[in-house]
Amino acid sequence: MNRRLFLNLAGSAAVSGLLRPTAFSANAPRPNILLIYADDLGYGDLSCYGAKNIRTPNLDRMAKGGVRFTDAHSSSATCTPSRYSMLTGEYAWRKKGTGVLPGDARLIIDPKRPTLPGMLQNAGYRTGVVGKWHLGLGDGNLDWNGEIKPGPLEIGFDSAFLMPATGDRVPCVYVKDRRVVGLDPKDPIKVDYQKPIGGEPTGRKNPELLRVHPSHGHDMAIVNGVSRIGYMTGGKSALWVDEDMAAEFVKRGIEFIDQQGREPFFLYFATHGIHVPRLPNRRFAGKTSMGPRGDAIAELDWTAGQLLDHLERRGLAKNTLVIFTSDNGPVVDDGYKDDAVEKLGGHRPAGPLRGGKYSNFEGGTRVPMIARWPERIKPGVSGALVGQQDFFASFATLSGAKLGKDAAPDSFDVLPALLGESTKGRDWIVEHARALSIRRGEYKLIAANPGPAVSRYTNIEMGTGSEPQLYRVTQDPGEQKNLAGTMPDKAKELSALLEKVKASPRSRVDVRTSVDNHQ
Ligand code: NG6
Ligand code: CA
């Protein structure tokens, strides 16, 4: 059906000449799109972003052949809201219930709304997701032993191979399309996030059974010697092996790429690395001086390398747009005693930025991002301001799809910037962590948000303050000098813009500043 739709669209495009953006010749084949989405990887965690204690040769090679962005953002400083925004083109902070989800949450993306994969599917792409989901499954009280829906297949993916939530949340099983993989019906899975079930040992009561100990939280169900968040029983034959997860995802990603049809593909490949628990494969254990966190970065680099090599092998590299980025900034201790703090050495996971995951400072959402498409992109480094919520509108242009007014309400078409053809991306962007911040031009305003300056769990500087803060981030990327007192007009201007964005549920249409808004 998709292919037929594509042929129809292609036919009418030839007649009307309307569907393809002028920048693209009508005959050029549309590129495949591979989006490699890392978890918790910081701005300073790759050698191509200045890391000295670690080498990431595959991603460095990708950066050399593509555009490396220095001001690219996830929409939020945690996972679920970033993914929600990326797949819907809507800021997650506009919707209740889009914070970090438990593993038994219902699907938070309404199957009726336009989505990034759905838009590409309608435009004739074959769409797939492999890896971390964390957007909920089912519509409440999900039975993990039956048909799991709604899920990715209901929001525009043709196929799915998932880790349902996070590596540190139950259930610790894979879901393929609508079923748990390898489940024995005689050993059904039960999941509970409120109370222990089945009399099984827990991390709290049975620390002697653990091979990795929690530093905070993570003291419930024990799976593979690691205590997690949430309780589960059953499903023994279906449990994943943490150390094999990266290779499993690579295998499934390659399988998807190899189901080639005549249509281009879109693969959303979301890694578990480098989220906790950090249990990279034996091949990477001890490969860096930084313990499991460093080794997980090495494994992540390998993962990207495997996919890039495969594209090469299949002759697909030239016409595939590969984007590599991360869902939020870095965290060192995220709840397990895994040597990450002790072995950090001089490494700065957020590079020159302040804060990290969960934080209002730039370290929360400014993440590595590399775009490579040999047939189209000229290698370079770009300081354009771009956000992951912009993939939706940008890929719409790329694929020749038309966006309805209500679709992807906060997504701006920054395709020329993504392709390295323009140094201008967005005029402004909202960053979302504990509070909202707004970036425009040289400045950033963090809204007032009283609270402890440093998280006592993660030791991250949160960017809290009882008054708004203003930083000139172009000159002061480390956000050291608060200018709110000396530049009250600038603070007011940004604060008014933030209020306007909050009040305009379709910011692409309603918040036009001097914007290079191509839609
Ligand atoms: C936190 C977890 C953290 C991580 C995070 C979500 C505790 C104490 N901390 O609640 O370990 O799982 O949620 O991370 O449980 S994210 O990258 O998926 O947003
Ligand atoms: Ca994350």
> DSSP string covering 242-293, please?
GGGHHHHHHHHHHHHHHS--SS-EEEEEE--TTSSS----GGGTTSSTTHHH
Report the half-sphere exposure of 470 (CA within 13 A, side-chain side): 17
Output the pLDDT for position 28: 63
> DSSP string covering 183-251, please?
--TTS--EEESSS--TT--BTTT-GGG-SB-BSSS--SBEETTEE-BSEEE--GGGB--GGGHHHHHHH
Closest protein CA for atom 8 of ligand 1 = 217
- For ligand 1, mutation pick of 76, 78, 101 (most atoms within 8 Å of CB): 78
Is any ligand 1 atom within 6 A of the Cβ of residue 329? no
The CATH number that domain 430-510 falls under is 3.30.1120.10
Output the pLDDT for position 260: 76
Is any ligand 1 atom within 6 A of the Cβ of residue 229? yes
Closest protein CA for atom 18 of ligand 1 = 79
Mention every residue, 6+ apart, whose C-beta is less than 8 A from residue 291: 338, 339, 340, 342, 343
Is any ligand 1 atom within 6 A of the Cβ of residue 217? yes
- Report d(CA 35, CA 160) in Å as an integer: 14
Averages of pLDDT over runs of 10 residues in the chain (519 residues) are 37 33 56 98 98 97 98 98 98 98 98 98 97 98 97 98 98 98 98 95 98 98 98 98 98 95 94 98 97 98 98 97 98 98 98 98 98 98 98 98 94 98 96 98 98 98 98 98 98 98 95 54
- Ligand 1 centroid from CA 334, angstroms: 7
Residue showing tokens 């494994």: 299
- Report d(CA 108, CA 43) in Å as an integer: 28
Q: Which CATH number fits domain 32-181+242-424: 1.10.3720.10, 3.40.720.10, 3.40.50.720, 3.30.470.10?
A: 3.40.720.10
Output the pLDDT for position 405: 85
Coil, strand or helix at 174: coil
Give the torsion through C-alpha atoms of 126, 129, 135, 138, to 10 deg.
Answer: 70
- Report d(CA 361, CA 130) in Å as an integer: 30
Is any ligand 1 atom within 6 A of the Cβ of residue 219? no
Return the domain boundaries, the chain.
32-181+242-424, 190-233, 430-510
Is any ligand 1 atom within 6 A of the Cβ of residue 333? no
- Ligand 2 centroid from CA 166, angstroms: 9
Cβ neighbour number for residue 486 with a 10 Å cutoff:
10
Of the bound ligands, which one is closest to the alpha carbon of residue 101?
1
